[in-house]
Amino acid sequence: MAEKLPENPEIEPLTRTQVLVAMGVTAIILLAVAKLWLLFGSISLLPVKLSGIDLLKGLVIGLAITGGSAIVYRIWPGYRRSADIYLEVVLKPLFWPDLIWLGLLPGLSEELLFRGVMISALGLNVTGLVLSSCCFGILHLGGMQQWPYAVWATVVGLLLGYTVLDTGNLLVPIVAHVCTNLISSCVWKWEHEAAKR
């Protein structure tokens, strides 16, 4: 059974519409930043090549991230608290079909910006990998109490960034990110709805 979250006066409950609008606006902003960076920078978007083996790699990595997150969730109380607060705000008001958008919008827009453009602009090397992953982690920082969630997002960013450096195919981190978001959100929603019964 899921533990009851303490009341958090800093975080106001959101409606379903507010969450969906926030997801859409965030995706549009990230895509606009990526597009402007490509337009005014001397870089090009890393390629998205449809490949069965890279699709499979993305799925396996997505499952590994989801499994790793479940382990970290169980052994690190700070991460569990920050993840629950974040997911309570984002997932609780959503309906089951909305989870498809939660998988796709961040999975596509964040990967296009952080792995498709930023890592290329900062350098297809360890420096670019670390800097883009730190920026990805900061994006997931919803407040100072949420730092464990941002730390985990940074680690995930390192893994996703490594996959694009290794394969040269943006499809791998996109599939992994979408897969992770979909599975994690479905599991969290299922467990929290079951706890109410």
- For the stretch 49-108, pLDDT in tens is 999 999 999 999 999 999 999 999 999 999 999 988 888 888 989 999 999 999 999 999
Question: What's the pLDDT band for 6 if we cut at 50, 70, 90?
Answer: very low
Residue 10: the pLDDT is 55
Q: Which of 186, 187, 23, 6 is nearest to 96 (CA)?
A: 186
| In the predicted structure, residue 38 carries a pLDDT above the cut 80 | yes
| In the predicted structure, residue 19 carries a pLDDT above the cut 90 | yes
Residue 129: the pLDDT is 97
Task: Give every CB contact of residue 60 below 8 A, 6+ residues apart in sequence.
Answer: none
pLDDT (tens digit, 9 = 90+) per residue, 137-180?
999 987 888 899 999 999 999 999 999 999 999 999 999 999 99
Q: Is 196 exposed, middle or buried (0-12, 13-18, 19+ CB in 10 A)?
A: exposed
Residue 186 near residue 99 (C-beta atoms within 8 A): yes
Residue 165 near residue 129 (C-beta atoms within 8 A): yes
- Kindly state the tokens that stand for 130: 């670390």
Residue 5: the pLDDT is 43
Alpha carbons 72 and 91: distance in angstroms, whole number: 19
Alpha carbons 176 and 103: distance in angstroms, whole number: 10
**Global pTM?**
0.89
Alpha carbons 186 and 152: distance in angstroms, whole number: 19
Side chain identity at 63, as an amino acid letter? L
